[in-house]
Amino acid sequence: MDHDAVQSIAATIEAMKPEFAMLSDGIWDFAELKFEEKRSSELLAKTLEDNGFSLRRGMAGMETAFVGDFGSGKPVIAFLGEFDALAAMSQVADTAAHKALVDGAAGHGCGHNLLGVGSLMAAIALARYMKANNLQGTVRYYGCPGEEGGSGKTFMVRAGLFDDVDTALTWHPAPFNGVRSTNNLAVIEYYYRFKGIAAHAANAAHLGRSALDAVELMNVGVNFLREHMPQDCRVHYAITDTGGKAANVVQARAEVLYLIRAPEMKQALDLAERVEKVARGAAMMTETEVEIVFDTASTNLLPNITLETAMHVNMTALGPIAFDEADLAFARSIQQTFTDEAIRSSIRLYQIKGDVFSNAKIDGSTPLHLGLREFEGHSHFRAGSTDVGDVSWVTPTAQCWTPAWAIGTNPHTWQVVAQGKSAAAHKAMAHAAKALATTGLSLMTTPELLAAAKAEWADKTEGQAYICPIPDHVMPGSVHSR
């Protein structure tokens, strides 16, 4: 891309940073859970409107989902924004001590306050550049609720909201800077609700049928199943209802939630059938009944190397993030809450092998990633799941990562929340916005790049039509029996 264009967009975003840092901090303060993000959603939507975007609210059956458009015609470049928090993750900001801000309250343990605003900055900066340079096309921002266990984007895809999109771009806070192509896992979630018969556990235990026994037997059975499922699959569970706290009562109800992950959705569904057999077997053994209740699902991510390469080129042109000594000092204090193994594990997980700018090896001795991760041009296995996967199956999609967190930080931890308002996080957010906006501009002004991204997507999806993993009758935030 033209050097002047990169610098123009970067300067626009730098000028926006103070205002949008406050916006991100406001969403951090709201810390709203999936499908309840009313204030966060409205704040983002109003900012789009104030910047000349037309808005559609309440999309795909979700009150907090919205879509904003600027411009008209092709190409349609989409930016994905998230803004939901995590339950019981409240934490005081800007401290390296684990201390809840409000006991039991939610907190932004995955950095979505930064994610949603960073994508917003990118969309607005690109729109301003388009207007100033009379460019044809549409910039679109998707306000995507409920990423954490809600699969908001999956519902938006099911509703056809991405059908006219040419490419989608997003990012995520991380302990590193750069592009990392990943194959995320498909995931499907079910509740297994057992119903038994209550009885006095001493006087009449023979009359009882324990739903809790059924849950425990199911968990044992699935643990044995782990040896006999594909290596890259994952199965997790949480007992969500033990049937009460009285030990001298045979529990008449109990419930367990299972997340079943696999490299492809078909594999996840096949594995779910095996888990179901274990559940029904546990019910037979305990003479209880089991109700299997669908919760949500997301498809595996389909990487696009063409888009990811273009994003890496733009991140190289942008240069390193200007972290200062205060940023490093705070990150170092956060790192002191980690073990050495946690730091090494973070480097291995994200495969931060080297630095484009200095060719230095990343070893964790510097608390923040100061350079740019090398891009290998191929995908890596990643065991997590995201509803970005569903978007990637209907339009070419790419994402980058920027170092909002100290090296060693794991998502869904109090350390993420503590760093969510830091100056370093704001710098990383703005840097992500620059990477997204410049890549969007590359796609608008280089037809051959857009065509190559679409050709790669078409090749990878040939003979594999997207099938939404959420049944048509299931609505956001609801659960349904099979």
Identify the pLDDT of residue 463: 87
Q: Which range marks the domain in which residue 220 is found?
A: 186-298
Single residue among 254, 280, 298 that ends a domain in this structure: 298
CA 111 → CA 8, 115, 404, distances in Å? 27, 6, 8
Q: Is residue 431 part of a domain?
A: yes
d(CA 328, CA 342): 18
Find where tokens 């733009």 sit: 314
Which residues of the chain, if any, have pLDDT below 50? none
Can you give the CATH number for the domain in which 276 is found?
3.30.70.360
Q: Do 207 and 270 sit in the same domain of this protein? A: yes
Of the residues 246, 278, 298, which one is the last residue of a structural domain? 298
Judgement on whether residues 205 and 160 belong to the same structural domain of the protein: no
Residues 385 and 339 in one domain: yes
Both tokens assigned to 190: 């079910």
**36 and 64 Cβ atoms separated by less than 8 Å:** yes
Q: pLDDT (tens digit, 9 = 90+) per residue, 91-114?
A: 999 999 999 999 999 999 999 999
pLDDT score of 258 = 98
The reported pLDDT for the residue numbered 354 is 72
Task: Tell me if 259 is assigned to some domain.
Answer: yes
Same domain, 243 and 308: no
* Shared-domain flag, residues 442 and 315: yes
> 263 and 205 share a domain?
yes
CA angle 176, 182, 186 (to 5 degrees): 125
- Residues 441, 314: one domain? yes
Residue 476 forms part of a structural domain: no
Residue type, 356: V
- Whose tokens are 């079910």? That residue is 190
| 478 within domain boundaries | no
Residue 451, pLDDT score: 98
How many domains does the chain contain in total? 2
Closest Cα to residue 428, out of 12, 3, 91, 21? 21
The pair of structure tokens assigned to 156 is: 């938006």
Distance of CA 432 to the CA centre of its chain: 15
> Do both 453 and 440 map to the same domain?
yes
What integer pLDDT is reported at residue 479 of this predicted model? 63
Rounded to 5 degrees, φ, ψ at 234 are -140, 140
Its pTM stands at 0.95
Q: Cis before residue 18, ω within 30 degrees of 0?
A: no
**pLDDT score at 480:** 64
Residues 173 and 246 placed together within one structural domain of the fold: no
> Is the domain of 287 the same as that of 207?
yes
- Give the per-residue pLDDT at 167: 98
Angle at 30 between CA 146 and CA 187, to 5 degrees: 20
| N- to C-terminal Cα separation, the chain | 51
Residues 245 and 277 in one domain: yes
Here the CATH number for the domain that contains residue 433 is 3.40.630.10
Q: Is residue 473 part of a domain?
A: no
Whether residue 326 sits in one domain with residue 273: no
**In terms of C-beta density within 10 A (0-12 exposed, 13-18 middle, 19 or more buried), how is residue 327 classed?**
buried
pLDDT for 135 equals: 96
Report the pLDDT value the prediction gives residue 345, as an integer from 0 to 100: 86
Segments in 339-422 forming alpha helices (H): 340-350, 388-392, 414-418
Q: Residue 91 falls within a domain, yes or no? A: yes
